[in-house]
Amino acid sequence: MSTHEHILPCPFCGSCEVEMAIPAEYGWVTCHQCGAAGEPAQGRKKAIERWNRRVPVDDRTATVIR
């Protein structure tokens, strides 16, 4: 597996029990520990890129609109 296809640990629980799910044309990365799933994408590389860019919920900043 090349570096651009390296799947990072789950951004929510930190588990390394993650894998690529490709049931059809679109695929996504899933965490077996907490059940988190990445955004579906067409192609393995794109799905892994989307997963690797995810930010843990605790690290997100909220914008309040009044």
Element (H, E) at 50: helix 44-52
Residue 48 lies in a domain: yes
Q: What domain range includes position 27?
A: 3-55
Domain count, the chain: 1
Residue 63 lies in a domain: no
The pLDDT tens digits of the residues spanning 22-54 come to 877 889 999 999 999 999 999 889 999 999 998
51/30 Cα distance (integer angstroms): 9
- pTM as predicted: 0.71
15/8 Cα distance (integer angstroms): 9
Residue 9 lies in a domain: yes
The pLDDT tens digits of the residues spanning 3-18 come to 457 999 999 999 999 9
Residue 61 lies in a domain: no
Angle (CA) 65-58-56 rounded to 5° is 105
